[in-house]
Structure 1
Amino acid sequence: MSEHRLTLDTRAARNLATTTKTVPQMQGRTPRWLLRLLPWEEARGGSYRVNRRLTYQVGDGIVTFVNDGARVRVIPAELAELPPLRDLGDPAVLEDMAGRFAQREYEPGEVIVRAGRPVDRVVLIAHGKVARLGRGEYGDETQLGVLADGRFLGERALLGSDEEWEHTVRALTPTIALVLPAADIGELTGRHAALEEHLAAYRDAPRPATDKNGEAAIDLAAGHEGEVELPGTYVDYDPSPREYELSVAQTRLRIHTRVADLYNDPMNQVEQQLRLTIEELLERQEHELINNRDFGLLHNADLRQRIPTRTGPPTPDDLDELLSRRRGSKFFLAHPRTIAAFGRECTRRGVYPGVIGRDGARVQTWRGVPIFPSDKIPISAAGTSSVLVLRTGSAEQGVVGLRRTGLEGEVRPGVSVRFTGVDDKAILTYLVSVYHSAAVLVPDALGVLENVEIAR
């Protein structure tokens, strides 16, 4: 027998109650640290030109390979990345040379070349990591750097020089290399007159005076006494400066007039639809600033500022190497899983990074430089990612964001909302646009630690 109710049922009472509700929520919203940390420059003309001193690029390219199963081959045209072969106009010569490279495989710890021996071969690192080793002040072995996929050594062997290897090179991981012995080089130059003439011209050409950064040198005198004749000089500029054009992320937001007219209490439907749309566009903006192949930071980093990890996972040594290659680093940017992997390496060594507060969040630091998370940095199928380090601001010759403000319908800097009309189905349409780009003012403003293993 059902119990007789003495009061109004709560389900019926809800029909007269006003529900307490939130504004629409979205799971995809992230802190967007990069957008908050980048200093923004105004690009009034829709583009931004970065003028630099003239820089001589010498041998900083990466050679590309293809493989058929376990057999690896170098793409002939990619041999032009070797400085002595640049501007060699005969593709048949590169094709013949590519076929002469022999594949060699090295186990971890195996020596590839030894210091003091003649430079009698060209070595291309197709896959794996190798270390350049030298002797410290007291005779102990010191690791001077790491070379990984696409790097090369011994290109001076093409010139028939009697130089010796300055450093011992040893495999850190299982390594596949392609080797061109001096005997094959001699046979190629004897067969191809164009190659012999090109190498002779390269050998005899005067080298432009450069400073330690590869920029055109400025002659000056210092520490002199008396009436010394001072050198004359001028500062040479890059004749083809990079111009960054503003990119755009856009969408059309559609809202039926019936919804906009009748369902605006207590929240304005148009405002909420625009808010969520702008949030999604800003997420896309940060993604583009990191991953766009034209101006994204991962692709815009100078090849000389991209370094591999020493052992795979992100270690304190790796982040120290990133910091040592530039002055005034403002912050690191890494995927949250990469930051977790770095924390594990620190714990394993008994090292505990500092923590600072930033905008209400607690952020891990290394050497006083904060490490901010960004899930826009990709993780490969093999479980590897990247760590970026930035010096920012035009006054510091760093990385700057680019945008255009003062737009028609601007709702926040660089974000425009324009009403484009009502169609014959009574649907309102708004054009929402975000204009943006990023510029690296000098190469050492941005560094990337590549192939970081986060799954180990």
Structure 2
Amino acid sequence: MTEQQLSLGTSAARNLATTTKSVPQMQGISSRWLLKLLPWVQAAGGAYRVNRRLTYTVGDGRVTFVTTGADVRVIPLELGELPPLRGFEDEPVLSALADRFTQREYEPGDVVVEAGRPADTVYLIAHGKLNEIGRGEYGDDAILRVLADGQFFGADVLAGDAGEWDRTIKAVTACTLLELPESEFREATGRSDELRDHVAAYRDRPERPQDEGGEARIEMASGHDGEPDLPGTFVDYESAPREYELSVAQTVLRVHSRVADLYNEPMDQTEQQLRLTIEALRERQEHELVNNRGFGLLHNADLTQRLHTRSGPPTPDDMDELLTLVWKDPAFFLAHPKTIAAFGRECSARGVYPGNVDVNGNQVPAWRGVPIFPCNKIPISPTLTSSVLLMRTGEAAQGVIGLHQIGIPDEVQPGLSVRFMGIDEKAIISYLVSAYYSAAVLVPDALAILESVEIAHGGAA
């Protein structure tokens, strides 16, 4: 038996009630710390030129490989990254030289080269991680450097002045190396007069004076008495400084006139459409600032400013090592949230507890007083590795800066415009939404990257 209803039901009552609504929500909106933290510089004329002192190239690049199944081959023109071959571009000769490399596999713990043995082979690291071990101050072995994918050692063999290995190099992980014995290179130079002359010119090239940063040295005297002749000098500049042109992210927003006319209470439909579109453009802008191959930070860090973790996951030791590369007033770390979690696990496993710093009312984790900000635009590889960025910021500090241009037509936010494009024959209103931006690293030591950071580990042993 059904009970008789004694009052008005809620379903009927809702027909007379005003529903409280939220504005449209969007899960893709992130904190976008990079956009907030970068100092933004006006790029009049749509470009920004970075003038630097002349820097000599010292051949510390990385080589690239192609893989077919289990076979690895170095790309011939990439051999130009080896200092004795820098500037040599005869592709047939380089291709023949690339064919002379032999592939060899090493297991963890294998010694690739041993200190005191004759240096007679060039090694290219196709895959894996190795420790460069040398004698410490008091006779103990010390890890001097970590070598990984794309790096090489033994290039002096090509110039004929390598002598003996002064350090031991041992595999940390399973490694794939390409090796070129000196005898094979000598045979290759015997078949090519151009290659032989190029190597001879490299060997006979006078050493150019440079400071510890690789810049042309400024001569000066100090601590002298009397009236000695003072050295003359000048500050040499790069003859072809790099220019950063503003990039653009654009889309066309379409709104039907019927929607714009009739459905604007309690919220303006066009305003909400524009708000979410602008949010998406800003997300793309941050993605480009991190990942763009032309100006993105991941691709514009100097090769000398890149580190590999010593053991895999990000440890306090790795973060300290990163700080040694940007020690002049570091501003902040930038890492994927999962990388930050992996760093937290490593700290907990060691009984180390990073502090927090207050940033505009937000409690942000920090290491050595330098805040660590999350950024989900830093990619994670299929093998669950990522990167950690550390930077100094601002023009005055010769750091990393963002570039934009304010005052553009129909500007609604700095460097972002919404331009009315008209109404078509279907009564659809169109707006062109554009964001203009770029980023520049003013000097190499303003940005450093910790690469190949493993985030799949649950913690240190």
Please state which band the TM-score falls in when normalised by the shorter chain.
over 0.9
Contact 2:156 2:162 in 1 (8 A): no
Aligned residue in 1 for 2:332: 331
Aligned to 1:169: 169
Q: After superposition, what is the alpha-carbon deviation per residue over 1:220-246, rounded to whole angstroms, capped at 9, x for unaligned?
A: 111111101111111111111111111
- The unaligned stretches of length 5 or more in structure 1 are none
Q: TM-score, normalised by structure 2?
A: 0.96
Of 5-14 and 206-215, deviating more is: 5-14
Q: Distance in 2 between matches of 1:70 and 1:280?
A: 41
The 3-state SS of whatever aligns with 2:419 is strand
In structure 2, relative to structure 1, the CA distance for the partners of 1:193 and 1:212 (3 Å cut) is same
Q: CA 1:312–1:396 in structure 2 vs 1: closer, same or farther (change >3 Å)?
A: same
| Distance in 2 (alpha carbons) for counterparts of 1:265 and 1:96 | 73
SS of the residue 1:243 aligns to: strand
Q: How far is the alpha carbon of 1:73 from its aligned partner?
A: 2.0
Offset, 1:387: 0.8
**How far is the alpha carbon of 1:67 from its aligned partner?**
2.7
Distance of 2:64 and 2:409 partners within structure 1? 47
Distance in 1, matches of 2:190 and 2:230, equals: 48
Alignment of 1:224-263 (within 5 A): 224-263=224-263
- The yes-or-no answer on 1:62 pairing with 2:94 is no
Which residue identity does 1:385 align to in structure 2? Answer: S
Deviation at 1:58, TM superposition (A): 1.3
What is the one-letter code of the residue matched to 2:143? Q
The CA distance in 2 between the partners of 1:374 and 1:250, in whole Å, is 22
Distance between the aligned counterparts of 1:70 and 1:424, measured in 2? 58
Q: Secondary structure at the match of 1:15?
A: coil
Deviation sequence 1:114-168 (CA, Å, 0-9, x none): 2233321111111111111112221111111111111111111112225322221
For residues 239 and 19 of structure 2, the distance between their equivalents in structure 1, rounded to whole angstroms, comes to 66
Letter in 1 for 2:448: G
Partner of 1:274: 274
8 Å Cα contact 2:305/2:444 also seen in 1: yes
> Does 2:454 match 1:453?
yes
Distance 2:162 2:424 in 1: 78
Over 4 Å off, 4+ runs: none
Indicate the residue corresponding to 1:401 in structure 2.
402
- The amino acid that maps onto 2:208 is P
Q: CA deviation at 1:395?
A: 0.4
Inter-partner Cα distance in structure 2 for 1:417 and 1:85: 51
Give 1:421's aligned residue. 422
Query: 1:213 corresponds to which residue?
Result: 213
Q: Does 2:290 correspond to 1:290? A: yes
Matches within 5 A, 1:7-406: 7-161=7-161, 163-326=163-326, 327-406=328-407
Does the aligned pair in 1 maintain the 2:59–2:86 contact within 8 Å?
A: no
**Range that drifts further, 111-120 or 344-353:** 111-120
1:438 aligns to what?
A: 439
TM-score, normalised with respect to structure 1? 0.97
- In 2, the alpha carbon distance for the partners of 1:266 and 1:188 equals 78
CA distance in 1, matches of 2:182, 2:422: 72
| Shift of residue 187, structure 1, vs aligned partner | 2.4
- Decide whether aligned partners of structure 1 residues 426 and 93 sit closer, same or farther in structure 2, where only a CA change above 3 A counts: closer
Q: Which amino acid aligns with 2:308?
A: P
Superposed displacement of residue 89, structure 1: 4.1
Whole-angstrom distance in 2 between the partners of 1:354 and 1:235 = 43
> In structure 1, how many angstroms separate the alpha carbons of the residues matched to 2:81 and 2:92?
16
Alignment: residue pair count: 456
Letter paired with 1:382: T
The code of the aligned residue for 2:201 comes to A
SS in 2 for 1:22: coil
Letter in 1 for 2:419: R
**Which 10-residue stretch deviates more, 106-115 or 149-158?**
106-115
Q: Distance in 2 between matches of 1:235 and 1:270?
A: 56
Distance in 2 between the 1:164 and 1:436 partners? 50
1:357 is aligned with what amino acid?
D
Cα 1:319–1:18 shift into 2, 3 Å: same
- Which whole-Å CA distance do the structure 1 matches of 2:396 and 2:265 have between them? 49
> Aligned-pair distance for 1:68?
2.9
The whole-number CA distance in structure 2 between the counterparts of 1:418 and 1:27 is: 26
Aligned mates of 2:85, 2:365 — CA distance in 1: 46
1:95/1:426 CA distance change after superposition, 3 Å: closer
1:337 is matched by which residue type in structure 2? K
Spell out, residue by residue over 1:81-127, the C-alpha distance to the aligned partner (whole angstroms, 9 max, x if none). Answer: 11101222433332232222222222212211122333211111111
Amino acid at match of 2:408: L
Tell me the distance in 2 between the aligned counterparts of 1:52 and 1:146: 29
Report the residue type matching 2:358 in the other structure: G
Please list every run of 5 or more consecutive structure 2 residues that lacks an aligned counterpart in the other structure: none
Counterpart residue identity of residue 78, structure 2: E
Which secondary structure state, in structure 2, belongs to the residue aligned with residue 55 of structure 1? coil
**Cα deviation code 1:338-375 (max 9, x no counterpart):** 11111111111111111123234321111111110011
The one-letter code of the counterpart of 2:424 is D
